[in-house]
Homo-oligomer: A and B are copies of this chain.
Amino acid sequence: MPRADRERQMMSVAEQVFAERGYVAASMDEIADRVGVSKPMLYEYFGSKEGLLVACIRQARAELLRVTSNAALAATSPEDKLRAGLISYFDFIRAHGQAWALLRTEAAVVGPSAAGEIEAGRQQQTDLISSTMALYAPTPSTLDMAPAAEVIVGGCERLALWCDQHPETTPEQAAELVMRLIWFGMRTLVDDQPSPGRG
């Protein structure tokens, strides 16, 4: 089997095993077994257990960014951009099930490089939000935008976990809740006087 295919297969199995057992309890031997290959192959391709986790995260993060930024691009007003981004975010999370949630929470534990990868992912999300919103800000208030974006990303992450335990909640409802909670406050950052004409 060619390397690229094998790598994809390994990452898929790894994501599953990490999700099932948790990062610490997951053993490289088990992953290798399930792939139907010997352990050194994993090390040949990913370098280390942490490297394998990082690869899984990186792939998921790339896809998340693609999905959310596409959604935001397709919308026109800032409000709709944010809402569309949120919906696609909760959609993505739901589609990826616990695997995604676990990857996020697990990664921080590992070491600098996996933690860095997770951070980079959030950074992309916060950058996406703050840069999108900053387009509509009259003054260079982007300074305040960055921490606000942190709050949004963190809040959504948390809410996504909550939604996992309340499966009746739809991505649209989750997004709507976040919008109700923060949109007014967001507007005061984007545009200090609430002028409905702009958004």
- A: residues with CB less than 8 A from B are 22-25, 102, 105-106, 108-111, 115, 122, 144, 146-148, 150-159, 161-163, 166, 169, 174, 177-178, 180-186, 188-189
Contact = CB atoms under 8 A, between A and B. Distances in A.
B111 A109 contact: no
24 contacts: A24-B24, A24-B111, A105-B105, A105-B108, A105-B109, A106-B109, A109-B110, A147-B162, A147-B174, A147-B177, A150-B161, A151-B155, A151-B177, A151-B178, A151-B181, A151-B182, A155-B155, A155-B158, A157-B158, A180-B189, A182-B182, A182-B185, A184-B184, A184-B185
Given A147-B174, A151-B182, 17 more contacts: A22-B109, A22-B115, A24-B24, A24-B111, A105-B108, A146-B162, A147-B166, A147-B169, A147-B177, A148-B181, A150-B161, A150-B162, A151-B156, A154-B158, A180-B188, A181-B182, A181-B189
A159 B122 CA distance: 12
A22 B22 CA distance: 16
A102 B153 CA distance: 18
**Which residue of A102, A155, A162, A169 has the most chain B CB atoms within 10 A of its CB atom?**
A155
Given A105-B108, A155-B151, A180 B185 contact: yes
A151 B144 contact: no
Nearest to A101: B108
Contacts of A189: 180-181
A174 B181 CA distance: 17
